Amino acid sequence: MIEDQQKVLKRQIHQRRINIHLLFMEEDQEKQQSEEQEKAVEHSSAKEADKTSRTGQRSSRSALSSRNDRRSAKSPQKTDPPKENKHPFALYGWGERKTDTGSQKTHNVCASASVNEIHESALRAKNRRQVEKRKLSQRRVRSAEADKAWRIKPSPPDNPWMTEYMRCYSARAR
């Protein structure tokens, strides 16, 4: 029951993201169309202005420069290929080409998901951390055992001439 609700929520979130994405795409397309229309109007007015200014200046130009003008006028303008629409803000996860949210893998290794739904790198990192924890706990156990062995020494036979001071601070007593 809970899983079904989660799936429904995921679908709703995904649909909302798609709707937002489409809205921004439509706005960008409208902006581009209006910009293209403005450029076309400016370009046509610039051509007319150039034609009127050229007729008066032709007599003063040399034959070489007028030939270059004709070549530039005949060559078509290069247009840049349309770039991908950039949004004013980046939605999380929209860098991926696959937009099917349900089929995406997770990095959360603690999630109740099968191994196929988790990134391989996340699983490797989880295994590495577990191995490091085991090694660290084994080191702690070994060092604790060594400390106990060093601290607890078998008591030497009672020497009536061995004082407490000698036992604690003498090199011979160690």
According to the model, what pLDDT value does residue 105 have?
Answer: 74
According to the model, what pLDDT value does residue 127 have?
Answer: 92
**pTM score, two decimals?**
0.29
Residue 115 and residue 123 in contact, taking contact as beta carbons nearer than 8 Å:
yes
- Asked if pLDDT for residue 131 goes beyond 90, the answer is yes
According to the model, what pLDDT value does residue 34 have?
Answer: 86
Q: Which of 82, 83, 106 is nearest to 93 (CA)?
A: 106
